[in-house]
Amino acid sequence: MNRKKRILAWAVSAAVAAALVIVLVPVGIRLWEVHLLTSDWTLTPKEVPSKVQYDDREFNCGPGAQPRPGRTLDGLTVRGKTAGGADIYAADPPPGNSVVTSISVRTEDGVFVCDLMGGP
């Protein structure tokens, strides 16, 4: 292979590598950001992610969260939204206790219950 062909092959390889870096780095950063927020490895947060952050605490909904049949939102009020945009419902903490130990997340599929991670 002559010198011109080697230089051209190197330039094409460098351009392809640069294009891959330009595409893959932002995708990797986005995956990492969503993972830190939700514990899921996705580009966009699910409505009910594995982990929900609310009131400076983390709540575990689980990787395969399922709605709880018959679960109502009686006595609960909307307190925020998950990273994926679903409504977070919670009750006021019991007197003398400032920690909410579980939250409910409502979607079109039903009501999901997520428990406090790591204790109060």
The pLDDT tens digits for 29-65 are 999 999 999 999 999 999 999 999 998 899 999 988 9
| Average pLDDT estimate for 9-14 | 91
Query: What is the rounded distance in angstroms from the CA atom of residue 14 to the CA atom of residue 102?
Result: 52
Q: Which residue has the higher pLDDT, 24 or 95?
A: 24
Q: What is the DSSP secondary structure assignment for residue 90, as one 8-state letter? A: E
Tens digit of each residue's pLDDT (9 = 90 or more) over 70-99 = 888 998 999 999 999 999 999 887 777 777
Give the pLDDT band (50/70/90) at residue 120: low
Residue 71: predicted pLDDT: 86
Buried (b) or exposed (e) across 12-36, using 16+ Cβ within 10 A? Answer: eeeeeeeeeeeeeeeeeeeeeebbe
